[in-house]
Amino acid sequence: MTGYVVDSWAWVEYLRGSKAGQAVKKELESGSETLTNVVTLAELASKLTRERLDLESAWRAITALSKTITVKEPDAKDAGILHATMKETTPNFSLADAFVLQTARKHGCRILTGDPDFKGIKEARILT
């Protein structure tokens, strides 16, 4: 697997500059391809707005550091099926998580995350 799909957990930690965020930063600077699903961008816009954080600066940083992956109809269908399947064993697995996993599988990438809902998923690189 080459490159990373960065999920919202990893982006939030990166933006906060936390210890985990430093690990995210190291990976982002490693030269690997970095992808962010457009659904993750929507999730981040919501979280940053709710927390009254600087969305515009964050948005510029994220879009400068990663390639945005848009959702096409077959991708949406695949993510929906994946979501239903994952919910059977991981009740908190969100639809946004399914889009991240679907993107990683489609592009042959790993997922950069610390979200415990990705535990046990072979594509996930869990940061703490």
Which tens digits make up the pLDDT trace of 87-109? 999 999 999 999 999 999 999 99
d(CA 30, CA 2): 12
- Strand, helix or coil at 93? coil
> Please, what is the angle between helix 95-107 and helix 73-87, to 10°?
120
- Distant-in-sequence, close-in-space partners of 100: CB < 8 Å, separation ≥ 6: 5, 7, 37, 39, 40, 111, 113
Using pLDDT thresholds of 50, 70 and 90, give the confidence band for residue 33.
very high
For 4-126, CATH number?
Answer: 3.40.50.1010
Predicted model pTM: 0.94
* CA–CA dist 117, 100 (Å, integer): 12
